[in-house]
């Protein structure tokens, strides 16, 4: 039997694997691979935990954002309602104030009108009395004059009472 190169390759291959097994290289490689696998699994688990935490945080943030948006909508709606009420109230107050001022002005005008009429009446009566005095003093004697004056004075008082009432 001739020993050719393939035989020696086979023998060297078997010796090589024998040495590897003798020094427990496959077990070391296996333990290194197991260690790497467990590290990768740990990293995957940790990344999964981080992803879960991130999702939870994202959900919480989204809920807070939704709550904040709904609260801001409520606040804006209430502010609109309040401003509308305020505008209506101010408008009502303005109209009431103008109505009161209008009534006061009308009352003042009425009082001034009554005062002016009274002054005109007083002046008219004074002029009439003075005129009657002059007419009577120039045309009638003293005794008739006193009687006529008293009579006219009484009539004038009666007329004034009727006018003022």
Angstrom CA distances, 49 to 40, 57, 63, stand at 14, 12, 21
pLDDT tens readout for residues 75-89: 999 999 999 999 999
pLDDT band per the 50, 70, 90 thresholds, residue 135: confident
| Per-residue confidence (pLDDT) for residue 149, from 0 to 100 | 75
Whether 161 contacts 125, CB under 8 Å: no
Full-model pTM: 0.41
Residues whose CB is less than 8 angstroms from the CB of residue 128 and which lie 6 or more positions away in sequence, other chains included: 156
The ranges assigned to domains in the chain are 9-164
Whether the predicted pLDDT of 123 surpasses 90? no
What is the pLDDT averaged over residues 26-35?
91
| Per-residue confidence (pLDDT) for residue 66, from 0 to 100 | 93
């Amino acid at each position: 039997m001739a020993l050719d190169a393939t035989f020696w390759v086979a023998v060297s291959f078997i010796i090589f694997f024998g040495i590897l097994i003798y020094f427990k290289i496959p077990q070391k490689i296996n333990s290194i691979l197991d260690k790497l696998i467990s590290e990768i699994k740990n990293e995957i688990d940790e990344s999964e935990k981080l992803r879960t935490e991130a999702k939870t945080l994202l959900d919480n943030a989204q809920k807070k954002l939704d709550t904040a948006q709904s609260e801001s909508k409520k606040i804006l709606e209430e502010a609109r309602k309040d401003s509308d009420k305020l505008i209506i109230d101010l408008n009502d107050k303005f109209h009431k104030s103008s109505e009161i001022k209008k009534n006061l002005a009308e009352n003042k005008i009425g009082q001034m009108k009554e005062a002016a009429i009274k002054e005109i009446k007083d002046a008219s009566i004074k002029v009439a009395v003075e005129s009657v005095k002059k007419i009577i003093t120039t045309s009638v004697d003293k005794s008739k004059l006193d009687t006529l004056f008293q009579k006219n004075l009484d009539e004038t008082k009666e007329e004034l009472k009727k006018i003022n009432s």
